[in-house]
Structure 1
Amino acid sequence: MTFRTLLFVPGARPERFPKAGAAGADTVCIDLEDAVPPHQKEQARAEAMAFLQADTSGRFGLRINGVTTAPFAADCEALRAAPKSAAFVMVPKLETAEQVALVRERIGPDCPPVWPVIESPEGLRNAWDIAAAPGVGGVLFGGADYSAEIGSDMEWDALAFARGQLVAACARGGVELLDVPYLDIKDPEGLIATTTRVKAMGFTGRSCIHPDQVAPVNTVFTSSPAAVAHAQRVMEAFEAAEGGAVQLDGKLIDLPVIRAAQRTLERAGGA
């Protein structure tokens, strides 16, 4: 399943886990990193793992602490001791494909799909190798930390280069790509506008930091009935041509058009 929306929930607030699961997001990520102060890391980890092991929805993943931090080893050990408890493991500030391999080695043979967060110039430089590394299920663009690293703001032009690089890297690697959360939860118009732009670039979904952001992002990344109907007509015409050249509504149906139609149907659950 392609994630249109990923909702973060603080690992230090276990009472919010069920509420996050009911918010309508395609997946929920319990955050043990930025959302948890150092003195609460151990308790948050225990609360998160207890919830994950009891959950039966299969929709919850876990963001652990970075590979160079002190809590990293304990986070990996907790996941190793509870195989298949998390739908994915997100790793912040990941910068090389070798670090992906390290995460998978530490968690063990039942390591869930790894979701690197690329949020530094070094990570962006190695994005092509990271996205293609074994075990990677998708990538999250950590735009806030990346902008801090390069000394920019988070406006569109400042992050356009990084977004374009990640789209190409993830397309080559055949993995999903989620955009950075929109930080102004009181600006739904800005959320919709920027989400529409990242979808047009090739992002497959967006992360969210508040339940109110989920529905607008889902709407943007959900194919409209008209788009689904057109995609179905494209596929029907292509199949009827049995590999030959074919036109639909006066336009040639070539491979890029077919791929676009397939993506539309996949997002709609129709393929």
Structure 2
Amino acid sequence: MAFRSLLFVPGNRPERFEKALGAGADAVCIDLEDAVAPEAKDAARSAVIDFLTRGARPGLGVRINGPASEHVDADCRALSGLPVAFVMIPKVEAPGQVASLRLRLGDSRPLWPIIESPEGLRQAWDIASAVGVGGILFGAADYSAEVGCTLEWDALLYARGALAAAAARAGAELLDVPYLDIADEVGLTSSTGRAKALGFTGRACIHPGQVEIVNTAYSPSMAEVDRARRVVEAFDAANGGAALLDGKLIELPVVRAARRTLERTGV
């Protein structure tokens, strides 16, 4: 499943669940981990169960607690049989953790590991390729804390590039970390464009006001769609021979990129 935008909503704020679903994001993820204090975990989990039992919602997922957390077993039991589109797993550092949680969840819903440590980054190629993985989220805040670097773009360029390669190899989606300065629309737009250029397929959001900017950044323009259509038509018309468009040779990487553009727009 391809998400341009994913909006997080705290699991202990059930009054926000419906509002989040109406914010225009491609996916909404109810958070039982970072957004919920330890003493509020049980109440948040109950609120999520109550909401999910009312019926399935397209693109609605849940972030459970990490593999080493004392709360993860209760999270997995709670989600059993409930209509959840995907499950996000924080603090993943090995593909075996993905396999273990897939068994504990007991179904084939897509899993979204979060890479947020140097060890997770080291094993990102195998994590992204693990059975059941639909996508990866870059947890830059925790990663930068462990490395001791800042959240500035240059400081995290290596990590983002490595994750882009790992996700592309596995055929998995890749979401960037939420932009933490809610009021800085210029910074959100700029950094989202940079991540897209690296190969990220979407971005997580922490406020409804960020969704439209992210969706716009990851939506091909009409000119890009028209160009992609012309590239594919010229390539197909060549029947395996040399394809030309506007006097330029069309090579296979260009065709692959054009097809991805059309797939994302449903053309």
| 2:246 match | 249
Match 1:263 to one of 237, 241, 260: 260
Tell me the equivalent position of 2:88: 90
Number of the residue aligned with 1:72: 72
- Matched residue type, 2:89: V
Asked whether the 8 Å contact 1:52–1:60 carries over to 2, the reply is no
SS at match of 2:113: strand
1:215-270 CA-partner distances (Å, limit 9, x unpaired): 00000000000000000001111111111111101211111000110111112121
> Cα distance, 1:202 vs. partner?
0.4
2:128 to 131, 139, 162: 131
Task: Say which is worse superposed, 155-164 or 42-51, in terms of deviation.
Answer: 42-51
Query: What are the residue-to-residue correspondences of 1:18-57 with 2, within 5 Å?
Result: 18-57=18-57
For structure 2, the residue ranges without an aligned partner over 5 or more in a row are none
Does the 8 A contact of 2:56 with 2:84 survive in 1?
no
State the one-letter code of the partner of 2:6: L
Give yes or no for the alignment of 1:101 onto 2:99.
yes
Task: Report SS of the residue matched to 1:159.
Answer: helix
Give the superposition deviation at 1:51. Answer: 1.2
| TM value normalised by structure 1 | 0.97
Please give the root-mean-square deviation of Cα atoms over the aligned residues, in Å.
0.8
- Percent of aligned pairs with the same amino acid: 63
CA distance in 1, matches of 2:156, 2:132: 27
Which AA in structure 1 matches 2:19?
A: K
Which segments of 5 or more consecutive residues in structure 1 lack a partner in the other structure? none
Out of 217-226 and 55-64, give the one that drifted further: 55-64
Separation of aligned partners in 1, 2:104 and 2:193: 38
SS state at 1:29 partner: strand
Deviations along 1:93-120, one digit per CA (max 9) or x if unpaired, are: 0000000001001111x24111000000
**How far did 1:2 drift?**
1.2
- The number of residues matched between the two structures is 267
In structure 1, what is the Cα distance between the partners aligned to 2:12 and 2:56? 21
Amino acid of the residue matched to residue 157 of structure 2?
Answer: A
CA distance in 1, matches of 2:138, 2:149: 15
In the other structure, the counterpart of 1:212 is 209
SS in 2 for 1:54: coil
Partner of 2:153: 156
Are the counterparts in 1 of residues 23 and 208 from structure 2 also a CA contact under 8 Å? yes
Shift in Å, 1:55: 3.4
The answer to whether the Cα contact below 8 Å between 1:140 and 1:180 also exists between their aligned partners in 2 is: yes
